Structure 1
Amino acid sequence: MPATASRSARISGRVVAVLVVLASGLVAAFVAAPGKLAAAGSSDSFGDESSLRAALRVAFVEYWRSGDRDFSPALSDVVDYWFRYHLVKAVIAAVLLIVLGVLAVLLWRAFLRSTRHSPALASAGALVTLLALAASVLVMANVQGAVAPFSSLLPILTTGAPDPALADTLDQIRRQLGDLPSAGSRTPPALDMMISDFARYHLAMAVIAAVAALVLIAISIASWTAFARTNSADSRTRRVWGCFGVLFAMVSLAALLVAVVNTSTAADSAPALLAFFEGGW
């Protein structure tokens, strides 16, 4: 029996080590791989953020001057690349979330089954749990970016001092957005597309956050149920389940707040888009 237990511990240790290495590799891939994978099999290659910003600025000015609702070929190339970029990041982040979730379960099980108090296991379990929550935020943000890649590009467009052509374009956009409440004429097609895409960008996050909130609420309820069913003499297990119940309840409230705020913005996206271009969003 002792030999079996020892062998089981070694196997668990190897599994934990493999998961740690896998998680580390996924973190590295999340940082280094998306740009290369997004450009694979395509003529569109943006080596770094500065080259992407330069291409985006030229394409955006061209698109605005065209007056069309549909993207110009140059802007379409940039937006398609950004969609693939966020899609790759979302997939990597989702796999990382799964790995961290499994690792957190193993660590907490080991802590609860330990015959003596182990601060190291508790600390490791808490750290991995928080990292899993961070990974879930990365999944949410990158799914949102994949759903509305054009709006996701806007912060890159406006970062840094604009060149004269872009500055003039942004001034025109701000003026037209500011005139919308009193304008009797039809909204320009390009501006109408920007407003609708900005609404889709926030609606996507509202839906994602609402789904996340439901999952987190379910986990919190399950944690409190386990807390109530645990024998009162097992104070360590009750503390763990109680902490989970509080943590996931608090995070679910934050997700609900994100859902509400983004729903409100999606319902009236033009003022929010104006605030963004004025630097107040």
Structure 2
Amino acid sequence: MIGSLLATGSALIAAFVFAPAALLGGAVSGDAVGRGLAEYWRSGGPRYPALLAALVDHWFRWHAIKVVISSLIIVVFALLAVALWRRYLHGAAGHAAGAIGATVFTVLATGLLILNIQATAVPLVALLPMPAAGESGPVPHEIRAALTGPAGGPPALTVLLGEVERYHWVMVATAATVLAALAPAGAALWRRRGAGDARLRFLRRTLSVLLTVTASLLLLLVVAGALSAAAPGDTLLTVLAPA
């Protein structure tokens, strides 16, 4: 079973890296993002022009594929962690390192899932940091000028600010949901850390530490996301800042 889970997990990791490009015919180019953003900014309306609409749709599907794969990675590595911890508890001391590694990888895959849910929900904002988007002529400078100038601006600016706000509220909601699920489990493990034999105590203490660290990182994501959502103009300025 452990060998099968390792093989499946390795295949899923490879799929996470290569499947979106293979299924969708390549990634989005930064130059295209820059051109699409320029067209949108100068269009005078809130609707995406054809190029930007195609890029947003492509990026939505790209990250939706990664959401599915990262969800499967979490399931597989969680099962692997359970199997290895059971082997450890039943006498195979050498499995402890593998169990910890599988647990950590499950946590990392959860982080990937959160990021890809965020990018799937608001793909336009996920496109903005692409390197060439900051080198697309005067448009980023025009957007920064509109953000720092008098209130108002073209309809595209209103849409961009709304999408930036929504992007970070998605992060807040997703990270808070995972935090709400993990925090009670970590607290329960910590309360019972001294019960049982030496191996069971080691398992509980290790998992409680890992969950506490994970919960702390999730709390930071929630706070950072809320601050970014509360000031979408400042956040957009940071995204568009020249390298």
TM-score band (shorter)? over 0.9
Question: What CA distance in whole angstroms lies between the structure 1 residues aligned with 2:38 and 2:224?
Answer: 30
1:168 equivalent among 138, 160, 174:
138
TM-score by length of 1: 0.82
- After superposition, residues 117-266 of structure 1 pair within 5 angstroms as 118=93, 120-156=94-130, 158-159=131-132, 162=135, 166-179=136-149, 183-184=150-151, 186-227=152-193, 230-231=195-196, 234-266=197-229
Question: CA contact under 8 A between 2:15 and 2:69: conserved in structure 1?
Answer: yes
Q: CA RMSD in A?
A: 1.7
Percentage of matched positions with identical amino acids: 30
Superposed CA offset, 1:225-279 (max 9, x none) = 5435x33xx1221121012112212210210121011011101211111122124
Matched, 1:32 2:18: yes
1:101 equivalent among 70, 78, 82:
78
| Gap runs ≥5 in structure 2 | none
Superposed CA offset, 1:47-74 (max 9, x none) = 345xx22222222211111121111111
1:216 counterpart letter in structure 2 = L
TM-score by length of 2: 0.94
Which is greater in Rg?
1
Question: What CA distance in whole angstroms lies between the structure 1 residues aligned with 2:64 and 2:160?
Answer: 21
Higher relative contact order (Cα pairs below 8 Å, separated by 6+ residues): 2
Distance 1:84 1:160, change over 3 A: closer
Counterpart for residue 90 of structure 1: 67
Counterpart for residue 57 of structure 2: 80
1:221 counterpart letter in structure 2 = A
| Gap runs ≥5 in structure 1 | 1-14, 40-44
Question: What CA distance in whole angstroms lies between the structure 2 residues aligned with 1:169 and 1:224?
Answer: 53
Question: What CA distance in whole angstroms lies between the structure 1 residues aligned with 2:110 and 2:242?
Answer: 28
Distance 1:256 1:242, change over 3 A: same
